[in-house]
Structure 1
Amino acid sequence: MAGTDRETGVYEVDGSAEGPTAVLIGGMHGNEINGYRVAAAATDWGIDAGRLVVVPLANIVAIERNAREGPGGDLNRQFPGGRDLETDLARAIWGVVEDADPDVVIDLHRSRGLFETHPRWVGQAIFPTRAGGAVEDAEHVIDAMNDRYVPSTMRFHRFAMGNVQDDDRDSGLLVQKVHLELGVAGFLAELTEFLLDLETQLRWTTAITELLLERHGIRRIA
């Protein structure tokens, strides 16, 4: 969206060998700091193979306001399946995703509470698509996060499997559209801010991103 107040960067990180393509998106909601900071950091990563296309500050107006929604409302409800997209920004983001021809799409988020503990919130969960073996990948990453990162004293913060994204054309979620129209693996990764400091949120979001990319043949290197 060059030349508008919603203009934001798209970055490409290339590995030294041929490999799959991943799209990483942060900042869909402007107050979810972990997502856009980890995505922004990923623009400077090295990867061993393949290609990583990053939109770190997707909803730049909302980020500047530290607000969940920008002028067009909730951006992650503007991607209905099989229909025209609802805003110029959603169309621009979807254009980046389609042009990348990805093997996997990762959308980074953060909630205020815990999945299946606080009825209004969905934190500490990964929501995979049905396509592309994403359910098995999510199970693997959830187990790894709970084994390696979540202390035994924080059992309520253990990661869980979120609802599988498959045939709901009306949710408006980006990963749902990824499933319906591209038929590839997609993940909506939700951290929580509930009793977690920002540095822990960043560390865990980074770990989830790296683990999901590794499952698809893209490994971060120094």
Structure 2
Amino acid sequence: MKKVRHHRLFYSVSLSLAVLTLFLFWGNSNSGKVFTANPPPGKQLAVLSPSFSLPSMNTYWSQLTNTYSAKTNSNLVTPAKKPLPTNAVPTGASVEKKQLAVGTRDATDLYIIRSGKAGPVVMIVGGVHGNETAGYRAARIVRNYQISRGTLLVLPEANSRAVNQGVRYVSGQKDLNRCFPTSSSGTADTRLSREIYYALKKYNVDWLMDMHEGYNYSRLKSSSSVGQSLIYYPSSSTREVASKIVNNMNSGISTSYRKFSLLRYPTRGSLSRAAGQYLGVKSFIFETCSRDNLSTRINYQLRAADILLGSLGMK
């Protein structure tokens, strides 16, 4: 039994060494054939031609062909990219909410809507006067907009305390729309107005739309109100967009005195005037008239915002 075991062990070791030798010689052969070196005198060893290929150091297994292939980039397997859904938000798009006048009773939310693509920076403001309902109601809707390029800043309730109380401005306080700089070196009067004004500079705002309402139609001779008007700070590009908005509005209004007027120069001390005159922002105030029903007024505000954003290729 011991001799049989020794023979088997010797046979196994010999067979393993033989296979290893064949493998090493095979890898060094360019023809895919294996020869033994120095055969015994008078003996010719058989040439073995393998029926399958073995990998060499310059090959690798290709999942494309299920074979060993040369190491070339064309044979590399790259996972297929899944297409984005058609309603995907552009890479880098985001919505951020910040507070102005933090820690005060006048604290209010500013929404920064980024498309992730280069483009204009537009700021839309509502609620500077708390009793001008269509303005802040429309701005609340605009804060949920998605844009295709640039950045949209939305301040839905600029004077949040006045909005909550339903008044133009809170008793004991100054009209917020008279608190902004009246000279290039001037400063805003209150912390809230300073932070709103600073936001224009911080975010490099290009366009400003301030949503307001008047108590009567501006086209009535007996009226001193600026309801149903667009008041812009003069510049050629601002006038072009302002005219487009007014013409669009008036195309659907048959009664002459209810049509929108195109006016220049917002009041001194107002947000729109300071932004246009001292910061070079293309700015305007859009005024609806509180004599119309609320849904009509909100729709006017939204249409004006849509025309502005559409003109800039943002919506």
Same fold (TM over 0.5): yes
Question: How much has 1:139 moved relative to structure 2?
Answer: 1.0
Q: Which 4+ residue blocks in structure 1 deviate beyond 3 angstroms?
A: none
Kept in 1: contact 2:208–2:272 (CA 8 A):
yes
Q: Supply the distance in 2 between the matched residues of 1:81 and 1:180 (Cα, whole angstroms).
A: 9
Which of 111-120 and 202-211 deviates more? 111-120
Q: Deviation of residue 214 (structure 1)?
A: 1.9
Given that residues 23 and 100 in structure 1 are in contact (C-alpha distance below 8 angstroms), is that contact kept between their aligned partners in structure 2? no
Which of 1 and 2 has greater Rg?
2
Match of 1:155 in 2: 256
Aligned position for 1:192: 289
Coordinate RMSD, CA, aligned: 1.5
Q: Could you say which residue in structure 2 is the equivalent of 1:183? A: 280
- 1:149-203 deviation digits (Å, cap 9, x = unpaired): 32x2x322111101235xx8xx101111111221121010000012x11011111
- What secondary structure sits across from 1:93 in the alignment? helix
1:57-96 correspondence runs (5 A): 57-70=157-170, 71-79=172-180, 80-82=182-184, 83-96=186-199
Superposed counterparts of 1:106-121, under 5 Å: 106-117=209-220, 118-121=222-225
Letter in 1 for 2:275: V
**Aligned match of 1:215:** 311
1:6 aligns with 2:109: no
Q: Name the SS of the counterpart of 1:172 in structure 2.
A: coil
Deviation at residue 119 of structure 1 after TM alignment = 2.9
Q: Is the Cα contact below 8 Å between 1:129 and 1:185 reproduced in 2?
A: yes
Partner of 1:164: 265
Q: Does the 8 Å CA contact 2:246/2:262 hold for their aligned counterparts?
A: yes
Partner of 2:141: 41
Which residue of 10, 15, 20 corresponds with 2:115?
A: 15
Q: Contact conserved, 1:13 with 1:51, CA < 8 A, in 2?
A: yes
Q: Tell me, what secondary structure is at the counterpart of 2:162?
A: helix
* Structure 1 unaligned residues grouped into runs of 5+: none
Question: What secondary structure, in the 3-state scheme, does the structure 2 residue paired with 1:47 have?
Answer: coil
Structure 2 letter corresponding to 1:75: L
Opposite residue 93 of structure 1, the aligned amino acid is I
For structure 2, the residue ranges without an aligned partner over 5 or more in a row are 1-100
Aligned partner of residue 191 in structure 1, secondary structure: strand
8 Å CA contact 2:265, 2:273 repeated in 1: no
Percent identity, aligned pairs only, is 27
The C-alpha deviation readout for 1:104-128, integer Å capped at 9, x for no partner, is 0110001110114143210111011
1: CA distance, partners of 2:157 / 2:258? 27
Q: Give the secondary structure class of the aligned counterpart of 2:119.
A: strand
**Equivalent residues of 1:104, 1:216 under 8 A apart:** no
Give the structure 1 partner of residue 65 of structure 2: none
The SS at the match of 2:140 is helix
1:54 matches 2:157: no
CA contact (8 A) 1:131 1:183 kept: no
What do residues 51-84 of structure 1 show as CA deviations (whole Å, max 9, x unaligned)? 1011111001111110001242211111123212
Instruction: Give, in whole Å, the separation in 2 of the partners of 1:6 and 1:88.
Output: 9
CA shift at 1:132, angstroms? 5.8
Give the Cα–Cα distance (whole angstroms) in 2 for the partners of residues 216 and 176 of structure 1: 21
TM-score, length of structure 2 as denominator length = 0.64
